[in-house]
């Protein structure tokens, strides 16, 4: 395979809702470029893109696939991203290295919720979008409706390049208004006949050509002057204007294809090679120290790892983009994230599971390598040891479950497998919660985590079970309370003795140190000798005041009292959840000249704190999440009713041209399996995101339920 220079490389991400035909289009692009000799079929499970067993079993794309084709002396790298929102990580990693997104539209449905979500991520990455209306040969094809939905949703940037003359079962003809030519295909696809536009279609073609000329001229001052001077632009001038428009995100061309019959695909590849910007023309990468790195063929050899995979017979495969310079086989680079040396002993041009060895890759190109020791997704490797690119930012998880191995003793094996799965898919998050005493697995949806379980069972041979995750509640207090506790134990020889008197009150930021408390009708005067403010790992504060006067407790025992209090903060008195935002004043106590020791005062402090806590108007706080739901207008009522049943507080609703966006605050306890419920309510047409917002007090009836459940659990353990 030849070495392609930077200006000969085009990087495109195939995006779009599930069912839009991305994988079929990718097959047609590889066939048209001669990379494959026979087009695979999704139903027959023999496509280049969906080559993994789990994808063939599910009959859908689950991971992004790195592909390439060659056309007109150019290399087109293709990232076929999954359409389902559960696997949005593949979309995000693809957009990180793509220069243009091809948004594939199902001609039957037009803009779908998946289109909207993928468009949003493309905007976040400043990636220009070209729309490809696919399946124009379908018997339910509605090209006009699809085009109208694009214009309605995405506005004046939408620029029609082509007209499908007879969309539907007899589709075989496309008019191209950039070239002002007509393409007519054989009945079952193949090479088209190119001819002049017939008279009956000329008026429409000229009108669209005129609109395209104006849109092309808008993006370049010199072209605008030519347009005013000549009232038109040549085809090459229009291409230049469209390229500039793509770079500046000022134009979104619309093409049309029937990928199953390979109609329009060759012209699409022509458009990509002639019009799409090269990597050196697009936005520069940012480093962690906020510098810009342009795609420079003569710069320091640098690669960015955007994707990691494991294959049982090969091991770890790292996919990378060459950010600058040239990467040659056997080159030594420094991993600037881990500060270790890596040798790229083998370089590959990748087309799914097919990897073709190459000797060199130039700036802007995509490739793969194997057998790197300490390199993962988001790592930067370079000869310049001070250069580190910012990480790809993946979306927050939306679904969580607890997981445990079925076989006792498999915990370590499970941990290693989950670490590998996270490295391959950063949207899978794994955490052992000391608080909940569970391994919490988080992802983008129930189906997403079921795929993780499939890999654990089949790939890593660790049988597991999902169990309901506990909720990380917090405990705190609402008023002042006082308590004391005497710990006394005598069992021959030296005994144990410690007595602690303390007062607790809610912590408030910036509150003054008190000198007097009123508790149960009595005044208790205190004198603060010193205080310690502790920022808790789980959020909130603890302020610990030493108010001992007269030496009733020796100063050496005060750290032990604090240790006892902290132990009870870590296992709150109400439900065993973390306690937070409390001030503790130790103001009196007693000790014994022989029997007092640190353990005695730790236990006295712990139990005094527990007693005071229960009398201080204790309350349970629950995690609240900001939830945003994007739903078709006709399912709005069902989704709203479901959210209200989940104790949601709806903050607002916005209409976005056919879709409704609901913003709400919802308790985490009510979000269990929400992705499944939402999919059921909307036939998979809605999507949502969620992000932690705050802790709020649970309602009294739910607090009672939680207290009873905890008491029952404690009794069962005894």
Query: Residue 53: in which H helix or E strand, if any?
Result: helix 53-58
pLDDT of residue 689: 87
Each residue of 589-634: pLDDT tens digit?
999 988 899 999 999 999 999 999 999 999 999 999 999 998 888 8
* Average pLDDT score over residue span 423-447: 93
Q: Quick check: 664 pLDDT over 80?
A: yes
Residue 496's alpha-carbon distances to 377, 488, 551, 589, 592, in angstroms, are 55, 5, 19, 14, 9
In this prediction, residue 228 has a pLDDT band, given cuts at 50, 70 and 90, of: confident
Task: Let me know: does 184 contact 192? Beta carbons within 8 Å.
Answer: yes
The predicted-structure confidence for 470-488, as pLDDT tens digits, reads as follows 999 999 999 999 999 999 9
Looking at 3.60.20.10, 2.102.10.10, 3.30.70.240, 1.10.10.10, the CATH number of the domain 621-702 comes to 3.30.70.240
Dihedral of alpha carbons 59, 64, 66, 69, sign: positive
DSSP 539-584: SSEEEEEE---TTSS-GGGHHHHHHHHHHHHHS-TTTSPEE-SEEE
Q: Is 677 exposed, middle or buried (0-12, 13-18, 19+ CB in 10 A)?
A: middle
Residues 10-15 have a mean pLDDT of 98
Q: Domain residue spans in the chain? A: 6-281, 285-382, 399-470, 478-617, 621-702
Distance CA 344, CA 355 (A): 15
| Cα(272)–Cα(260) distance, integer angstroms | 19
User: Domain 399-470 class?
Assistant: alpha beta
- DSSP letters, 6-34, are GGGEEEEEEE--TTS-HHHHHHHHHHHTT
DSSP-based three-state secondary structure for 716: helix
Residue pLDDT, tens place only, 686-700: 888 889 999 999 999
In the beta sheet, which residues pair with residue 79? 13, 66
What are the residues whose beta carbons fall under 8 Å from the beta carbon of 142, sequence distance 6 or more?
107, 108, 110, 167
Mean pLDDT of the region 443-462: 94
**Which residues contact residue 494 at a Cβ distance below 8 angstroms, ignoring those fewer than 6 apart?**
594, 595
Burial 11-45 (b: 16+ CB within 10 A, else e): bbbbbbbbbbbbbbbbbbbbbbbebbeebbebeee
Beta bridge partners of 255: 132
What proportion of the chain, given as a percentage, has pLDDT over 90? 80
Same fold, 399-470 and 621-702: yes
pLDDT in tens, 381-418: 999 999 999 999 999 898 999 999 999 889 999 999 99
pLDDT confidence of 103, banded at 50, 70, 90? very high
SS3 category, 668: helix
26 and 379 in contact (C-beta within 8 Å)?
Answer: no
Residue with tokens 């041009």: 349
**Region 285-382: CATH code:** 2.40.30.10
Instruction: Indicate the pTM of the whole model.
Output: 0.85
| Cα–Cα distance, 227 to 428 (Å, whole number) | 52
Dihedral (C-alpha) 323, 326, 332, 338: value to the nearest 10 degrees? 0
| Dist CA 596 CA 490 (whole Å) | 11
CA-wise closest residue to 184 among 175, 643, 646, 715: 175
Q: Are strands 302-311 and 292-293 parallel, antiparallel or unpaired?
A: unpaired
Residue 718 reports pLDDT greater than 60? no
d(CA 518, CA 660): 53
pLDDT above 80 (res 658): no
Collapsing DSSP to helix, strand or coil, 713 comes out as helix
Name the CATH architecture for the domain at 6-281. Answer: 3-Layer(aba) Sandwich (3.40)
The position carrying tokens 């991305």 is 22
Q: Which helix (H) or strand (E) holds 206?
A: helix 199-218
In this structure, which topology does domain 478-617 adopt according to CATH?
Ribosomal Protein S5; domain 2 (3.30.230)
The crossing angle, in degrees rounded to 10, of helices 199-218 and 235-247 is 50
> Contact 717/709 with Cβ under 8 angstroms?
no
């Amino acid at each position: 395979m030849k070495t392609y220079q930077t200006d000969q490389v085009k990087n495109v991400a195939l995006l779009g809702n599930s069912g839009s035909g991305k994988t079929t289009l990718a097959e047609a692009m590889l066939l048209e470029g001669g990379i494959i000799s026979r087009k695979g079929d999704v139903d027959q499970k023999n496509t280049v893109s969906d080559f993994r067993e789990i994808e063939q079993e599910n009959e859908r794309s689950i991971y992004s696939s790195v592909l390439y084709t060659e056309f007109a002396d150019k290399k087109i790298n293709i990232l076929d991203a999954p359409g389902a929102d559960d696997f949005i990580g593949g979309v995000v990693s693809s957009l990180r290295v793509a220069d243009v997104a091809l948004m594939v539209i199902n001609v039957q449905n037009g803009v779908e919720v998946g289109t909207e979500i993928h468009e949003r991520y493309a905007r976040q990455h400043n990636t220009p979008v070209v729309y490809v209306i696919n399946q124009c040969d379908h018997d339910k094809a509605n090209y006009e409706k699809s085009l109208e939905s694009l214009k309605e949703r995405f506005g004046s940037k939408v620029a029609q390049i082509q007209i499908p003359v007879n969309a539907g079962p007899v589709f075989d003809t496309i008019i191209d208004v950039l070239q002002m030519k007509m393409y007519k295909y054989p009945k079952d696809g193949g090479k088209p006949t190119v001819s002049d536009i017939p008279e009956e279609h000329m008026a429409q073609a000229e009108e669209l050509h005129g609109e395209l000329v104006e849109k092309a001229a808008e993006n370049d001052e010199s072209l605008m002057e030519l347009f005013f001077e000549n009232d038109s632009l040549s085809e090459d001038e229009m291409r230049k204007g469209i390229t500039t428009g793509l770079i500046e995100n000022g134009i979104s061309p619309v093409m049309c294809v029937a990928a199953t019959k390979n109609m329009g695909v060759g012209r699409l590849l022509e458009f990509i090679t002639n019009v799409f910007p090269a990597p050196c023309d697009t936005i520069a990468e940012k480093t962690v120290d906020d510098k810009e790195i342009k795609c420079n063929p003569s710069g320091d050899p640098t690669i960015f790892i955007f994707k990691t995979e494991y294959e049982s017979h090969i091991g770890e495969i790292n996919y990378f983009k060459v950010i600058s310079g040239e990467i040659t086989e056997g080159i030594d680079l420094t991993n600037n994230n881990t500060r270790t040396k890596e040798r790229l002993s083998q370089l590959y041009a990748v087309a799914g599971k097919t990897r073709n060895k190459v000797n060199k890759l130039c700036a802007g190109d995509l490739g793969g390598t194997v057998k790197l020791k300490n390199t993962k997704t988001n790592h930067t490797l370079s000869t310049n040891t001070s250069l580190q690119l910012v990480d790809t930012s993946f979306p927050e998880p939306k679904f969580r479950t607890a997981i445990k191995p079925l076989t006792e003793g498999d915990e370590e094996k499970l941990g290693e497998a989950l670490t590998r799965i996270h490295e391959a898919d950063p949207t899978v998050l794994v955490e052992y919660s000391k608080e909940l005493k569970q391994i919490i697995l988080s992802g983008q949806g129930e189906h997403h985590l079921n795929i993780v379980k499939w890999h654990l069972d089949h790939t890593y041979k660790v049988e597991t079970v999902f169990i309901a995750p506990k909720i990380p509640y917090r405990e705190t207090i609402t008023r002042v309370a006082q308590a004391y506790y005497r710990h006394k134990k005598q069992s021959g020889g030296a005994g144990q003795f410690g007595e602690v008197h303390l007062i607790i009150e809610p912590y408030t930021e910036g509150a003054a140190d008190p000198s007097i408390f009123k508790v149960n009708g009595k005044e208790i005067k205190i004198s603060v000798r010193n205080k310690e403010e502790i920022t808790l790992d789980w959020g909130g504060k603890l302020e610990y005041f030493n108010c001992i006067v007269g030496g009733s407790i020796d100063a050496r025992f005060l750290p032990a009292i604090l240790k006892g209090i902290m132990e009870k903060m870590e296992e709150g008195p109400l439900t065993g959840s973390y306690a937070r935002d409390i001030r503790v004043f130790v103001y009196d106590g007693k000790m014994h000249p022989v029997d007092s020791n640190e353990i005695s005062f730790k236990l006295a402090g712990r139990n005094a704190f527990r007693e005071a806590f229960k009398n201080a108007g204790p309350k349970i706080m629950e995690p609240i999440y900001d939830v945003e739901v994007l739903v078709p207008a006709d399912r709005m009522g069902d989704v709203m009713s479901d959210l209200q049943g989940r104790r949601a507080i709806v903050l607002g609703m916005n209409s976005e041209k056919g879709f409704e966006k609901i913003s709400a605050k919802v308790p985490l306890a009510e979000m269990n399996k929400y992705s499944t419920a939402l999919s059921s309510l909307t036939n998979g047409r809605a999507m949502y995101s969620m992000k932690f917002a705050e802790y709020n007090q649970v309602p009294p009836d739910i607090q009672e339920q939680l207290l009873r459940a905890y008491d029952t659990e404690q009794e069962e353990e005894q």
